[in-house]
Structure 1
Amino acid sequence: MQIVFMNRLSRMSGADQEAFAQLWIGEEEGIWSLGWRDFSGAEELSDNIWYEGGSWNEMLCVYRHELAVKMGDGYRPLIDGVFHEEEGLNSRNQEQLKLQHYSEQHANEAIYEELCAWRRGRASSERKAPYILASNRLLRMLSAFLPRTPEELLQIPGVGEGKASQYGGEWLNITSGASRDHSYPLSWVNEAVEEEAFSSWLYKQKELKYKKQLERLRLRRIVLQGIENGLGMDQLKTTSGVSRREVLEAVEELEKDGYSVEKLIELELQGISPNEQDSIWTAYELLGDSFLKPVLYKAYGEEFSPAEGLDMYYERLRLIRIRFRRGTENGVEMATGF
């Protein structure tokens, strides 16, 4: 095996003792290997193999995720730029990340729970997903920094003029009544955050990010192989261990990246009448393919409300949308015109 990359890392372990490790990537006849080797004083321990396989992209995802875990544990590399991506943070991004980091350590839990209850109520009344109204991250920052005025509210990352106008008054009703021992502007946070703790937190964020990327990559591989083997949505859901919605999102991504998913679409739509498919196709032609809800009611009628719910119909729309987008590029005029 040829070693194509190696880096040495170290961290403080115990009372003034330094632990060392090596991270390496090797290749032999198209098979990539990725490993981690610990050292204990002069003693060299056995390798911990993180990955062996033929996919560079998957190996790189594993590399980034596992390295982020190690750096979150305090390891630091001899050679910088170890994630093989653009890493630098500008001052504004770093300031916002420090605010987020601080808020996770100093949130007012009672206020946070009250904000979460507000979000549940609002989401229900507006028939929106809760995260569209406000993310957990934003509610944490509101609960930690407790703005009392519209001017203070606008200093919270994630609060723009639109959100402040729409929901700001309700947020301030919750946050302004709580006692606080800090002031605005929030520039003091930069000094209040301990740099080593902040660095470890940043690597934890990378760990979560790369874990999601790795899970997404593996899901795509499972779905692509399943489609090739003639599996349907139910079987892909069982094989992958994720929801039908997540499977369908992976199918859309694969189609966008140039992979053929037509075998699955044909299988899933084989019980749908040509007239129904053509109605959906025509709705896309009239309304465009950006939003599904107007297409649904154009194809099925404004009063459409099946007892079994709408999920299966939205899934049907998304499968036909894949054909529609492909057909638009290729000049296909009808949903069943193959």
Structure 2
Amino acid sequence: MRMVFLNSLERKESGAICGSAQVWIGEEDGVWRMGWNENDGEGERETIWYEGCSWSEMLHVYRHRLVVKLSEGYRPVVEGIWDEREELQRRGMGAQKLICYSELHENEALYNELCVWRRKKAASARKAPYLIASNRLLRLVSVFRPQSVEELLQLPGFGEAKAGEFGAELLEMTQSPGGERPGPFPLDWVEREIDEEVFRSWMYKQKEAKLRQEMVKFSLRRQILEALAQGLNLEGLCERTGLERREAVEWLEVLEKEGYVTESLIRLELAEMPDDEQQAVWQAFEELGDSFLKPVLQRVYDQERIERGGLDQLYEKLRLLRISYRRHKENTPKAV
């Protein structure tokens, strides 16, 4: 095997090295292999992170698995394995440190009270709870316990609009007797309180969560493309990936925007849809546009047909036809 990349890492506790490791990438006959060799003082253990032919897939695995190790405290002996300066010196580090501090010094009692308040507020306004306030924002409020609107506005994610709408209710909870604050406002003291290595590991954990989501999407995309290449229909694609039918159609729309052609699957799904019905939908797209499906649905189908055909099934057909319509429109030369 030809080694194409190798770097060493160390983990320290109280300034002393307590573990070492190497991350490596090799290639042989077009097959990429990547692994992690770790020595914790009791011997070396090798873990294979990836073995396959896809360079891009390997890079996704590399980024995700490596950032997990960085979040555990491993640091590269030779710089360049990860652009730490970009990670730790980008704009917004002050806000990130406030968030980090709030997660490391939780006030569960007040946080739970704020969550109950958010749930009631969301129910009365018929909104999703995250539109009222994110978990992180409630965590910041619960830990730093602002006592005025001016202090509320110093928390990242809290703007004038939110302060005007919810400020009084939040302050009523943070001003309740018996609660101690970790320090005064302004919160510039937080930066001095956080250990840099602790903060760095916390940052890598945030990165790991993001990369894990990217890994899931990358794997899902590959499965969908394989299903398309094998000529599966929508049901087969859903069985392969575990997606719901609506989610699968949304993925087809995304792939079409990226330049992939999904026409073979669409033809399979619409094979039993009469030509005159497809033409009526096509004509409705031309007259009404393709941004919104409800006007098209109402133009093509009467209430009896909607009830007989099932609303979800009809919308699925419209979305599949819209994919074909948009591709046709993009490939049709515009009149000069």
Same topology, TM > 0.5: yes
Structure 1 position 137, deviation (Å): 1.9
TM-score, normalization by structure 2? 0.81
Q: Which residue of 1 aligns with 2:234?
A: 233
Q: Give the 3-state SS of the residue equivalent to 2:260 in structure 1.
A: coil
Deviates more, 1:253-262 or 1:159-168: 159-168
Instruction: Tell me if the contact between 1:281 and 1:324 (Cα under 8 Å) persists in the aligned partners.
Output: no
User: Cα RMSD over matched residues?
Assistant: 3.5
Q: Give the 3-state SS of the residue equivalent to 1:104 in structure 2.
A: helix
Q: Give the 3-state SS of the residue equivalent to 1:51 in structure 2.
A: strand
Q: Distance in 2 between matches of 1:35 and 1:138?
A: 38
Q: Give the 3-state SS of the residue equivalent to 2:188 in structure 1.
A: helix
Moved over 6 A (4+): 303-310
Structure 1 position 316, deviation (Å): 4.6
CA 1:307–1:211: 2 relative to 1, 3 Å: farther
Instruction: Tell me if the contact between 1:7 and 1:22 (Cα under 8 Å) persists in the aligned partners.
Output: yes
User: What is the letter of the counterpart of residue 38 of structure 2?
Assistant: D
Q: Distance in 2 between matches of 1:276 and 1:330?
A: 19
Instruction: Tell me if the contact between 2:282 and 2:325 (Cα under 8 Å) persists in the aligned partners.
Output: no
Q: Which residue of 2 aligns with 1:34?
A: 34
Q: Which residue of 2 aligns with 1:322?
A: 323
Give the paired residue count.
327
Identity of aligned residues (%): 46
Stretches of structure 2 that go unaligned for 5 or more consecutive residues are none
Q: Deviation per CA, 1:100-156, whole angstroms, max 9, x where unpaired? A: 111112233233223323333343444433333332222222222223322222222
Instruction: Tell me if the contact between 2:21 and 2:37 (Cα under 8 Å) persists in the aligned partners.
Output: yes
Q: Which residue of 2 aligns with 1:188?
A: 189
Q: Give the 3-state SS of the residue equivalent to 1:82 in structure 2.
A: coil
Instruction: Tell me if the contact between 1:283 and 1:299 (Cα under 8 Å) persists in the aligned partners.
Output: no
Q: Distance in 2 between matches of 1:7 and 1:254?
A: 36
Q: Give the 3-state SS of the residue equivalent to 2:35 in structure 1.
A: strand
Structure 1 position 326, deviation (Å): 2.5
Structure 1 position 183, deviation (Å): 1.8
When Rg is computed on C-alpha atoms for both structures, the one with the higher figure is 2
Q: Which residue of 1 aligns with 2:142?
A: 143
Stretches of structure 1 that go unaligned for 5 or more consecutive residues are 334-338
Structure 1 position 222, deviation (Å): 0.6
Q: Distance in 2 between matches of 1:276 and 1:73?
A: 56
Instruction: Tell me if the contact between 1:219 and 1:250 (Cα under 8 Å) persists in the aligned partners.
Output: no
CA 1:234–1:32: 2 relative to 1, 3 Å: same
Q: Distance in 1 between matches of 2:84 and 2:281?
A: 46
Structure 2 residue 110 is matched with structure 1 residue 111:
yes
